[in-house]
Amino acid sequence: MDNQIYIRVCETFTSLQGEGLQSGFPFFFIRLTGCNLRCTYCDTSYAWSEGVKRSVQELISLWQESGLRHVLVTGGEPLIQEGTYALMDALLKKGATVLLETNGSISLARVNRRIVKVVDWKTPGSGSGSSFFLDNLRYIDRRDQIKFVITSRQDYKWASRLVRKRSLALFTTVLFSPCYGQVEPKELASWILEDRLEVMLQLQLHKVIWGDQRGL
């Protein structure tokens, strides 16, 4: 009998982490299939449905072959698959440092505390603006990051109000990322400086290096 745990995987590859505090480090990427949201600017919509079933053991072997310590579990939305928890726990057990990118709409209660989380807080301009699961704030700390993708001046104002109202910068790192093609990095930088807002301007490093290419 096959006791393996299987997950639907869109793609695996090695690249530099493009966002957040770990930006610039080489990572083994595991992009899982499926997402419960439909953001207007999604640049990985192929991950909504594309993918094949792989066992946790197979993924561990692929990571080991990569020769890298850091693993990024991303999507789509990784937490909609039950097997993701088993995968992350198995990676930790084997000595990986695990980073999880999640869209903020699903509870983080079951995510192992040793995993660093980059949690989106979707703005109104994303088209998924009311999706953030507020209870998740209990599970986010200094090692984690909350990321807002800013699509307009209105989004910026909305997000900056939230940062202040919830004192987000006091317990975690807040990233503001300009939406590619909709807000210029220069514009966002000037708004942040003008308001003396305690957030980190975030550019997508992989797009600066390789452009909008898949698997990099």
| Distance in Å, CB of 149 to ligand SF4, minimum | 8
Tell me the closest approach of the beta carbon of residue 131 to ligand SF4, in angstroms: 8
Q: Which is nearer to ligand SF4, 36 or 55 (CB)?
A: 36
Per CB under 6 A, does 11 bind ligand SF4? no
Alpha carbons 60 and 177: distance in angstroms, whole number: 31
Q: Residue count at the site for ligand SF4 (CB under 6 A)?
A: 10
**Smallest separation, CB 16 to ligand SF4 (Å):** 19
Handedness of CA 21, 27, 28, 29 (dihedral sign): positive
E strand map for the chain: 6-16, 26-32, 52-55, 70-74, 97-102, 116-120, 145-150, 173-178, 200-201
Contact region with ligand SF4 (CB under 6 A), list: 37-45, 86-94, 172-180, 202-210: 37-45
Answer yes or no whether residue 205 interacts with ligand SF4 by CB under 6 A.
Answer: no
What distance in Å separates the CA atoms of residue 87 and residue 33, rounded to the nearest whole number?
14
78 lines the binding site for ligand SF4 (CB under 6 A): no
Name every residue whose Cβ is closer than 8 Å to that of residue 191 and which is 6 or more positions away in sequence.
153, 156, 160, 197
Residue 76 near ligand SF4 by CB under 6 A: yes
Separation between Cα atoms, residue 16 and residue 139, nearest integer Å = 26
79 binds ligand SF4 (CB under 6 A): no
Backbone angles phi and psi of 20, in degrees to 5: 80, -170
23 binds ligand SF4 (CB under 6 A): no
Residue 42 binding ligand SF4, by CB under 6 A: yes
Site for ligand SF4 in 80-109 (CB under 6 A): 103
Per-residue buried b or exposed e for 89-119, using 16+ beta carbons within 10 Å of the residue's own CB: bbbeeeebbbbbbbbbbbebeebeeebbbbb
Q: Does 37 bind ligand SF4 (CB under 6 A)?
A: yes
What token pair was written down for 54? 């792989």
Q: Kind and range of the H or E element at 194?
A: helix 185-195
Q: Among the candidate windows 10-18, 73-81, 157-165, 195-203, which touches ligand SF4 by CB under 6 A?
A: 73-81
The nearer residue to ligand SF4, 75 or 125, going by C-beta atoms, is 75
Is residue 38 a contact residue for ligand SF4 (CB under 6 A)?
A: yes
The residues of the shown chain that bind ligand SF4, judged by CB under 6 A, are 35, 37-39, 42, 44, 75-77, 103
